Amino acid sequence: MTIGAGCWHTLGLLGGMGPAATVDVLDKIVKATPAARDQEHIPILVRCIPQIPDRTAALLGRGPSPVDALIQGAAALRRAGAEVLAIACNTAHHWYQPIREAFGLPVVHIAEAVMYELRESDARGPVGIMATSGTILSGFYRQYLEAAGYVVLAPLPGSQVGEVDHAVDCAKAGDWNGARQSARYGADALFRRGAGQVVLACTELPLALAGLMPAGRLLDANQALARACVRAALCHDRDIPARVT
């Protein structure tokens, strides 16, 4: 079923963190849209500014805060005409509240999008989280998942640094062979510890693990965000729930 032209709210996509991940989210939004012709697609304004300070470095106390740049980006998208906002970076959701305040209209939360997908799946057992050290430290995924009754497994320290963070670093540097190998090791470690499903909660990880593991074992947060963007942009779904963390 397609939606007639003119039935969408304009989506703003705050990206650049990193550029390849922004492209992946945008591609998945297009593919998730129930459209039969150009005019039935969501109007999207994309702001891809890679110079936003590193989010994980800021959370670990090793770099400047990105919050001013994130607020500036959200406000710029609002001035340009965006009516609902999505943030194409998991770690940046640590600053969700000031971003939403700057935007002034609904902002999709990626953890809520993931929760929606988990409820729709038939996954059993603990939920593993593969994310940057910054996202793990922020704790918003654990907060959302545990509040919903899930048992959460985060990578052990050695796996976090040597496999998950390394995979993200390789992806950002364009070393996709290194990213794939390290990400696979990180996912396998969580499955060995009993995870029934692993959430790829960094926007680079779905790119690194694409097609490498059986369907249903990995939950792609980029895909979850894309589907949530489509739901949020529908005319009847303007007032989307957006829990402030």
Residue 174 φ/ψ region, left for φ over 0, alpha for ψ in the -120 to 50 degree band, beta for the rest: left
Q: Is residue 172 one of the residues assigned to a domain?
A: yes
170 catalytic per annotation: no
Mean pLDDT value across the chain: 91
Contact 118, 216 (CB under 8 A): no
Q: Are 195 and 126 in contact (CB under 8 A)?
A: yes
The one catalytic residue in 7, 89, 170, 229 is: 89
Number of domains in the chain: 2
229 assigned to some structural domain: yes
Which residue segment(s) compose the domain that 35 sits in? 11-109+223-237
Residue 6 lies in a domain: no
Shared-domain flag, residues 88 and 182: no
Q: Which residue has the tokens 């692993």?
A: 198
For residue 201, the SS3 value is: coil
**Burial class for 80, CB neighbours closer than 10 Å (0-12, 13-18, 19+):** exposed
Q: What is the pTM of this model?
A: 0.92
Report yes or no on 157 lying in a domain. Answer: yes
Same domain, 121 and 211: yes
Give a yes or no: residue 1 inside a domain.
no
Please tell me the distance from the alpha carbon of residue 221 to that of residue 21, in angstroms, as a whole number: 11
53: alpha, beta or left? (left if phi > 0; alpha if psi -120 to 50):
beta
Q: Are residues 215 and 117 in the same domain?
A: yes
Same structural domain for residues 50 and 138?
Answer: no
Pair 82, 10: CB distance under 8 Å: yes
18/57 same-domain check: yes
Q: What's 209's domain CATH number?
A: 3.40.50.1860
Does some domain include residue 137?
yes
**pLDDT value at residue 192:** 96
Burial class of residue 237 in the structure, from the number of CB atoms within 10 Å of its CB (0-12 exposed, 13-18 middle, 19+ buried): middle
**Judgement on whether residues 88 and 100 belong to the same structural domain of the protein:** yes
- Residue 46 and residue 130 in one domain: no
**Pick the catalytic residue: 7, 48, 170, 202?**
202
The band of 120, judged by pLDDT with boundaries at 50, 70 and 90, is: confident
On whether both 162 and 76 belong to a single domain, the answer is no
Per-residue pLDDT reduced to its tens digit, 129-169: 999 999 999 999 999 999 999 999 999 999 999 999 999 99
Active site residue 89: yes
**Is there a contact between 78 and 12 (Cβ–Cβ < 8 Å)?**
yes
| 32 shares its domain with 128 | no
Do 146 and 212 have their domain in common? yes
Q: Do 98 and 134 fall into the same domain?
A: no
Quick one: pLDDT band at residue 244, thresholds 50, 70, 90? very low
In a domain, 3, yes or no: no
